[in-house]
Structure 1
Amino acid sequence: MTVAALLAQFTAGGTAAAQEVNGLKTVEAFEGIAPEEARSAAIFGEMAKVITHPRCMNCHPVNSGPLQGDERKPHSPPVPRTEDNFGVVAMRCTTCHGEENRPFLGESGSVPGNGHWQLAPASMGWVGTTVPEICAQLKDPERNGGRTMTEVAHHMGHDSLVGWAWTPGEGRTPAPGTWEAFAELAENWIETGAACPG
């Protein structure tokens, strides 16, 4: 049985009300799923709502430079990927992206900002990959920035660049749920074995 079928069976069975916040199920929604591996995979499937959202995908391209907007269009002006992921000379990410979001002058919208705005390394590119492939990538230290699973959870729950996805500024749709709910899902995914959806 697939993870989706298990989740549908669980939520339809009425054994517990699925809890949700802003379109993202909370950890409590998965408590009745057994075995633990199926629960873990179902939790990652829910996390994927955030991971595959434009707020995350725009900074996780595979080969090209960053994307922007809810439409995930190529960054304007074009910004090529560099080895350090901070942009080329005279066109560093921080040239336009400051410590916080800044409103456009004279029109609606904003320039996104964070204290360490940057493109994810190419090894952490997700655009064009499947949810199971992203899951496997997050577990692989050679492709996740050398992180342990504890560090992956810490990144998802404490890195302000990840947290920015829920306060992206005018003109951008926030990621589903809340940062706290996503962080709790990530911790529980790892605690239950960090299984990947099939």
Structure 2
Amino acid sequence: MMIREWRFPALMVAAVLASALATGFSGTGVSATGAGTLAAPADFAHIADPKARSAAYFTELGKVLTNPRCTNCHPATDRPRQGDEARLHQPPVFRGLDGFGLDSMRCSSCHRAANFDPARMPGHEAWHLAPPEMAWEGKTVSQICEQIKDPKRNGNRTLADLIEHIGKDTLVGWAWHPGPGRTPVPGTQAEAGALVEAWALSGAACP
């Protein structure tokens, strides 16, 4: 796919490529160490106390939720972060009223329906920031747990909705397929979905 087919503003394309060069992008993919794995719910069967076992499910899920692939789009401020280093987004962009950017710089101005690897540009058709009440950058796993099951701070989702959201939502799923230069979150989306389901069905206890 040629860059001109994306209809990027010329200055924006230059800024993106310059940013990739400045951060040392080589196009070789993720780090050699990889993203790691996720334990399955069955791996916690030895924990006799149901509440402790439920909390253990979420602690394992926390490996995903505290990864930069998630926290970069759940920032503590109105400005997203990027990269494994969670550096402030360049060029400067902001959440906007709907999470899709300001009127003068929408997320879709650069982020299209899929990753554009030659420019190290991540993409998804619904690319946007989580709303402010769902920000968890810098929070502990325990704090995220209390937040994520609170409908006032999780997009008015039920526990059943969270199972669907984490386990099947394609924007969430991007975190496992982030493209060259970005380390994916551990495990698979199906494994994360199994953990959140086990957590929800066991009482949704927090660590």
Query: TM range, normalised to the smaller chain?
Result: 0.7 to 0.9
Shift of 1:68: 0.1
User: What are the Cα deviations for residues 156-185 of structure 1, in whole angstroms up to 9, with x where unaligned?
Assistant: 011101100110001100101111111100
Residue 99 (structure 2) pairs with residue 85 (structure 1): yes
> What residue in structure 1 maps to residue 128 of structure 2?
118
> What residue in structure 1 maps to residue 57 of structure 2?
43
Q: In 1, distance between residues paired with 2:67 and 2:45?
A: 25
Residue 110 (structure 2) pairs with residue 100 (structure 1): no
Among 61, 80, 83, the residue aligned to 1:66: 80
User: What are the Cα deviations for residues 13-71 of structure 1, in whole angstroms up to 9, with x where unaligned?
Assistant: xxxxxxxx942111121122121111000010000000000100100012231100000
Residue 165 (structure 2) pairs with residue 155 (structure 1): yes
Residue 44 (structure 2) pairs with residue 30 (structure 1): yes
State the secondary structure of the residue aligned to 1:118: coil
State the secondary structure of the residue aligned to 1:165: helix
Give the unaligned 5+ runs of structure 1: 1-20
Contact preservation (8 Å) 1:22, 1:178: no
Contact preservation (8 Å) 2:142, 2:206: yes
Deviating above 6 A after TM superposition, structure 1's stretches of 4 or more consecutive aligned residues are: none
Shift of 1:90: 3.2
Contact preservation (8 Å) 1:62, 1:123: no
- The size of the alignment, in residue pairs, is 173
Q: In 2, distance between residues paired with 1:94 and 1:166?
A: 21
Counterparts in 2 of 1:183-194, with a 5 A limit?
Answer: 183-194=193-204
State the secondary structure of the residue aligned to 1:104: helix
Q: In 2, distance between residues paired with 1:90 and 1:28?
A: 49
Amino acid across the alignment from 1:74: L
Across the aligned residues of Structure 1 and Structure 2, the Cα RMSD in angstroms comes to 1.2
Amino acid across the alignment from 2:113: E
Residue 72 (structure 2) pairs with residue 55 (structure 1): no
Q: Provide TM-score, normalisation by structure 2.
A: 0.81
Q: In 1, distance between residues paired with 2:36 and 2:133?
A: 30
Contact preservation (8 Å) 2:96, 2:103: no
Amino acid across the alignment from 1:129: K
> What residue in structure 2 maps to residue 173 of structure 1?
183
Shift of 1:135: 0.3
- Give me the identity figure in percent: 51
User: What are the Cα deviations for residues 82-136 of structure 1, in whole angstroms up to 9, with x where unaligned?
Assistant: 120000113111111111100235xxxx211111010000100011211111000
Give the unaligned 5+ runs of structure 2: 1-34
Q: Provide TM-score, normalisation by structure 1.
A: 0.84
State the secondary structure of the residue aligned to 1:24: coil
